[in-house]
Amino acid sequence: MSSSCPLVATPKPSVGRLDVVRWFGSQTKRAAICAGTIVLLLLAGMVVSPSAGATVTTTTAQRHPVVSSAAPCWTGNTSRPLKITTPGRYNGCGKTVPGIEINASDVIVENFVSRGADSTGIWSAGRNVTIQDNTITQVRHTIYDLDAIRFFGDGTKILRNRVYALVGNNPGDSHVDCIQTWAKSRPGSSNVLIAGNRCEGIPAQGVMAEGPGSTGGGGGGGGDSRNWVIQDNYFDCYANQTISLRAIHTVAILRNTFAGAGNKAVQITDGTSGVTFDSNILGSRIRTLFGP
């Protein structure tokens, strides 16, 4: 704006734009010209002023990403498992299904209740899959081991899910874990985020992770398993260790609560490297933070 414009008082925030124009119009001719310039700038979007009562917010980096639940509610058949084979966002809006199977990349699955699934509450194979804000309960043991979530694929994110009353029938000799992956018939999984989940009353491990170099029966595949973050989770688990890392590299274990019982919170074996810890909480029945 030209420096020849006279200084004028600023109208109150509650005054509307039309009132601003009228107010300026009552000033001198030179002031009116300046006022017109301001109005034109406002209309052109070059001057931005929040309206009265508006709230301006800023955000900071979050501990784990939140994807807003703006997707339409899924309207499929709830009497059988949900099978996903195409990329997209699937918002259950609280609907209950007997299991979820993902065979696709670039998928978001959120806000479902998985109840009564066979062997695994949510099973996923694909790149860049996000499993968030779901509830998993009453999984039934059939042929395979019983798990809440089983995944394979780079870029997997498992966020803010709740697992409770996981065992829905006699588990037999099943090794019941909350979250599991391996790299035998499939390659390893890298760039994995497991954050904000609640694993309640799990008979075995909270996270069972085997990379290609594992000697525990789940190794031998191709690829790599590295760059993992496991943070802000609540683990109420009852195996010798709550988290087992076999041939997984560069892992950050942050701010988790280990509320169950066992010899150690984290098992580090089979050449696992680059594991860092910060601000984890050990319950009275966990003897030590980590070991082989």
Distance of CA 273 to the CA centre of its chain: 24
Specify the length of the chain in residues. Answer: 292
Q: Report how far apart the first and last C-alpha atoms of the chain are (Å, whole number).
A: 70
Query: Looking at residue 12, what DSSP letter applies?
Result: P
Residue 142, both tokens: 């059939």
Question: According to the model, what pLDDT value does residue 170 have?
Answer: 77
Question: According to the model, what pLDDT value does residue 66 have?
Answer: 59
- pLDDT digit string (tens) for 97-121? 999 999 999 999 999 999 999 999 9
Q: How many helices (H) and strands (E) does the chain have?
A: 2, 25
- pLDDT digit string (tens) for 141-151? 887 789 999 99
- Decide: 107 and 87 in contact? Cβ < 8 Å: yes
pTM: 0.77
Question: According to the model, what pLDDT value does residue 145 have?
Answer: 85
Buried (b) or exposed (e) across 231-247, using 16+ Cβ within 10 A?
bbbbbbbbbebbbbbbb
What residues in the chain have per-residue pLDDT under 50? 1-62
- Using alpha carbons, select from 261, 260, 243 the residue that is nearest to residue 252: 243
Question: According to the model, what pLDDT value does residue 169 have?
Answer: 79
Q: CA angle, corner 145, sides to 273 and 191, nearest 5?
A: 35
Q: Which amino acid is at 188?
A: G
Q: Which domains does the chain have, with CATH numbers?
A: 14-58 (no CATH), 82-291 (2.160.20)
